């Protein structure tokens, strides 16, 4: 009996997908919610994040934003066009969205600039280990895992929950209004796009994953995909925790750099 998958219902209705995909969404829902409802995003929505926390978030998560097109390129290398079910769909999806993700990286830079960071703060930052771990994990999964698992870790899990928290932040005007009027549109473009764009993008990824896997994967394959999704959420939570822990250095504790320099030698 053919266990191939072909969606018949609405793209954004989980019941349009095989039972195993519905189980996947349910099993991972609590972990996904822990990311989407992270305290950092509540503070961001209310424009209450400290500058140090904002800076660590924007610079710390930047490697993932910058490298996301590369993650998809790693998955694209696995595609065997015309020979494996679901690979043609995956090819079109990945090629189309690599350019989109590059544009999103440009919007992230504008967000950072409007938040008081420089391009150098992004490009030459030394991110906390927890945010570096997230980018390393994404690279590892997309390089080493099967196509379905790599897309599940990134295009389904990370992009899906990013849509959740972006919509949450955009529910209030407080954060948008915290920017000066002349930079407000550029500052919010990344968030606005993800609050809308990612309504369908992760669903498209899920449809491709189900086409690749079929309607009746073996238990080990299901556990592999489930594990990849949960690991992405776990690393995201670790990265957000690290960003929230950033605190500004009190003025009386700041180092006087000139005082730390050795005295000039007499000539």
CATH number for the domain including 30? 1.20.910.10
Residue 11 has a CB neighbour count (10 Å cut-off) of 13
Given a cut of 70, whether residue 157 has pLDDT beyond it is yes
Query: Could you give the C-alpha distances from 45 to 20, 38, 40, 105, in angstroms and in order?
Result: 35, 11, 9, 21
Cα(21)–Cα(212) distance, rounded to whole angstroms? Answer: 12
Given a cut of 80, whether residue 261 has pLDDT beyond it is no
**256 in any annotated domain:** no
Looking at the structure of the chain, the number of domains it has is 1
Given a cut of 50, whether residue 253 has pLDDT beyond it is no
**34 in any annotated domain:** yes
pTM of the model: 0.89
pLDDT over 70 percentage in the chain: 91
For residue range 212-222, list pLDDT tens digits in order.
999 999 999 99
Give residue 82's pLDDT. Answer: 80
pLDDT over 90 percentage in the chain: 81
Residue 143 has a CB neighbour count (10 Å cut-off) of 14
Question: Collapsing DSSP states into helix, strand and coil, what is residue 146?
Answer: coil
Cα(240)–Cα(235) distance, rounded to whole angstroms? Answer: 9
Region 171-189 average pLDDT: 96
Cα(148)–Cα(205) distance, rounded to whole angstroms? Answer: 9
The set of residues, in sequence order, having a beta carbon less than 8 Å from that of 163 and lying 6+ positions away, is: 194, 195, 197, 198, 199, 201, 202
**192 in any annotated domain:** yes
Give residue 200's pLDDT. Answer: 86
Q: What is the DSSP track for 5-52?
A: ----S-TT-GGGS-HHHHHHHHHHHHHHHHHHT-HHHHHHHTT---HH
**180 in any annotated domain:** yes
Domain that holds residue 229: 17-244
Question: Collapsing DSSP states into helix, strand and coil, what is residue 262?
Answer: coil
**36 in any annotated domain:** yes
């Amino acid at each position: 009996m053919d266990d191939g998958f072909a969606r018949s219902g609405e793209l954004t209705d989980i019941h349009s997908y095989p039972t195993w995909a519905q189980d996947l969404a349910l099993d991972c829902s609590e972990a996904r919610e822990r990311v989407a409802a992270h305290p950092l995003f509540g503070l961001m929505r209310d424009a209450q994040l400290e500058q140090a926390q904002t800076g660590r978030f924007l610079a710390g998560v930047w490697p993932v934003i910058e490298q996301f097109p590369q993650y998809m390129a790693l998955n694209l290398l696995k595609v065997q066009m015309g020979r494996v079910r679901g690979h043609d769909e995956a090819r079109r999806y990945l090629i189309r969205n690599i350019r989109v993700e590059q544009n999103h990286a440009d919007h992230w830079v504008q967000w950072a600039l409007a938040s008081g960071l420089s391009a150098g703060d992004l490009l030459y930052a030394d991110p906390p280990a927890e945010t570096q771990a997230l980018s390393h994990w994404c690279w590892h999964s997309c390089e080493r895992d099967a196509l379905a698992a790599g897309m599940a870790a990134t295009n389904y899990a990370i992009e899906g929950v990013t849509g959740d928290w972006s919509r949450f932040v955009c529910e209030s005007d407080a954060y948008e209004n915290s920017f000066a009027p002349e930079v407000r549109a550029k500052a919010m473009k990344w968030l606005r796009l993800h609050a809308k764009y990612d309504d369908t993008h992760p669903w498209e990824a899920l449809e491709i994953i189900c086409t690749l896997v079929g309607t009746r994967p073996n238990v080990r394959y299901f556990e592999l995909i489930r594990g990849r999704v949960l690991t992405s959420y776990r690393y995201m939570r670790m990265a957000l925790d690290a960003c929230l822990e950033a605190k500004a250095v009190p003025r009386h504790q700041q180092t006087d750099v000139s005082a730390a320099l050795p005295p000039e030698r007499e000539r």
